[in-house]
């Protein structure tokens, strides 16, 4: 048995997932949901899919009656995740939802509750949890080889293009660089330390108030962990080549750079260069890995709705700190 998947929102990330799924063994792309009927022709040809397995946003609920579809994967703009995750859960289908899972903590909590009530899985698309370099970083930290974790550097950003895109509209994106890629710095610092941040302090820099009228451009922030470790983080929509996760322990370090993009991820430790298989696309690892959890009861990776909620709580604290002029804010 393979896990049958339908992608919801056939944009650029959905295309990447569909391409990666061609190499999956346990997961299989079955169909999609789109508001653009011409995409049914292009997608069914490109990925060899039956046109009968495509739906619109209006007849979305008919997926309920399609036994070939076990899970839906939400790849819509951020603010639409909440509605479609809840609609999918009500159909009794498992849900994979892109990051950020929602645009508020409250919405994230509602999504988790809806999936729990429907007894379906909810995973957030934190693809790096199946990526070999990231897994090795986590293994080294857990094994104690790095010793007590003292400090983390976590950076992710890029220069954004088209000023008209949804990522720059608050109503669709919920926020700017922070929501889109700053979330990798938070998730990364959490898996680098194995702890949850208890406070943040943050500042925003805006060099282009017209382009970034509605959303954040560059944010620098710190996160404090219960052990005393500090993470120093930057995210931006204003320049390229910002992508690094550097974890420093008493006995060793791991530096992944690049650390968060599609890769190949590269890295070194106190013992030298790291070398792992990077021939598979991250989304191939992820979809086969999640299928193994759903079909075969493998333990869930740290990609559940609850994990997504933890990141949303930190994001809200970051925005609160910025609004308070950079004051230290508790993560609650
Ligand atoms: P995109 O703009 O390429 O695709 C969005 C899709 O949603 C399009 O097909 C668009 O037609 C559709 N859509 C439906 N209603 C819409 C509306 N009202 N406004 C705009 N588009 C609408 O975006 P994307 O880059 O594919 O991002 C989609 C999601 O995937 C986002 O949540 C993003 O954060 C996430 N993403 C994750 C990764 C990752 O590595 N995990 C990478 C890229 C994007």
Q: Assign residue 257 the CATH number of its domain.
A: 3.30.360.10
Domain tally for the chain? 2
User: Does residue 158 lie in a domain region?
Assistant: yes
Tell me the pLDDT band of 12, cut-offs 50, 70 and 90: very high
Tell me what ipTM this predicted complex has: 0.99
Tell me the pLDDT band of 142, cut-offs 50, 70 and 90: very high
Which pLDDT tens digit goes with each residue over 247-292? 999 999 999 999 999 989 999 999 999 999 999 999 999 999 999 9
Which pLDDT tens digit goes with each residue over 193-237? 999 999 999 999 999 999 999 999 999 999 999 999 999 999 999
Task: Tell me the average pLDDT of the chain.
Answer: 98
Residue 152 has pLDDT above 90, yes or no: yes
Find the domain containing 203 and state its range.
Answer: 132-275+303-330
Q: Are 262 and 282 in contact (CB under 8 A)?
A: yes
In terms of C-beta density within 10 A (0-12 exposed, 13-18 middle, 19 or more buried), how is residue 47 classed? middle
The pLDDT assigned to 263 comes to 84
Nearest protein Cα to ligand 1, atom 1: 11
90-115: buried (b, 16+ CB within 10 Å) or exposed (e) per residue? ebebbbbbbbbbbbebebbbebbebb
**Residue 270 sits in the same domain as residue 325:** yes
- Which of 8, 10, 56, 77 for a ligand 1 pocket mutation test, highest count of atoms within 8 Å of Cβ? 77
* Residues framing ligand 1 (Cβ under 6 A): 9-14, 35, 75-78, 98-99, 125, 127, 166, 172, 180
Phi, psi of 210 (to 5 degrees): -80, -55
Ligand 1 center from residue 96 Cα (angstroms): 14
Which pLDDT tens digit goes with each residue over 311-323? 999 999 999 999 9
| Percentage of residues in the chain having pLDDT higher than 70 | 100
The pLDDT assigned to 255 comes to 98
Residue 164 has pLDDT above 90, yes or no: yes
The pLDDT assigned to 281 comes to 98
Residue 145 has pLDDT above 90, yes or no: yes
What is the rounded CA–CA span in Å between residue 182 and residue 191? 15
Of ligand 1's listed atoms, the one at least distance from the Cα of 81 is 32
Nearest protein Cα to ligand 1, atom 4: 11
Q: Are 39 and 12 in contact (CB under 8 A)?
A: no
Q: Are 204 and 218 in contact (CB under 8 A)?
A: yes
Q: Assign residue 114 the CATH number of its domain.
A: 3.40.50.720
**Residue 228 sits in the same domain as residue 174:** yes
């Amino acid at each position: 048995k393979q896990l049958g998947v339908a992608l919801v929102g056939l944009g650029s990330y959905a295309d990447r997932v569909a391409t990666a799924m061609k190499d999956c063994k346990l997961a299989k792309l079955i169909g999609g949901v789109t508001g653009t009927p011409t995409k049914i022709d292009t997608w069914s040809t490109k990925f060899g899919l039956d046109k009968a397995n495509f739906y619109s946003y209006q007849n979305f609920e008919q997926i309920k009656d399609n036994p070939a579809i076990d899970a839906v994967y939400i790849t819509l703009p951020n603010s639409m995740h909440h509605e479609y995750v809840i609609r999918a859960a009500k159909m009794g289908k498992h849900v994979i939802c892109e990051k950020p899972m929602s645009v508020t903590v409250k919405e994230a909590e509602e999504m988790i509750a809806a999936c729990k009530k429907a007894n379906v899985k909810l995973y957030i698309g934190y693809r790096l949890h199946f990526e070999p370099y990231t897994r090795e970083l986590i293994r080294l930290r857990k094994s104690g080889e790095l010793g007590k974790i003292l400090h983390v550097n976590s950076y992710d950003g890029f220069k954004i293009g088209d000023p008209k895109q949804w990522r720059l509209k608050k109503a669709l994106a919920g926020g700017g660089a922070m929501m889109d890629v700053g979330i990798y710095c938070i998730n990364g610092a959490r898996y680098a330390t194995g702890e949850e941040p208890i406070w943040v302090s943050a500042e925003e820099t805006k060099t282009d108030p017209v382009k970034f009228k509605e959303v954040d451009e560059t944010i620098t922030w710190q996160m404090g962990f219960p052990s005393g470790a500090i993470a120093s983080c930057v995210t931006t929509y204003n320049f390229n080549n910002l992508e690094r996760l550097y974890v420093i322990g008493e006995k060793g370090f791991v530096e992944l750079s690049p650390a968060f993009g599609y890769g190949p991820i590269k890295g070194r430790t106190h013992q030298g260069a790291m070398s792992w298989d990077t021939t598979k696309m991250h989304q191939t690892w992820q979809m086969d890995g999640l299928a193994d959890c759903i079909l075969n009861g493998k333990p869930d990776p740290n990609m559940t709705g609850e994990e997504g909620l933890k990141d949303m709580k930190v994001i809200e604290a970051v925005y609160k700190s910025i609004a308070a002029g950079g004051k230290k804010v508790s993560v609650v």
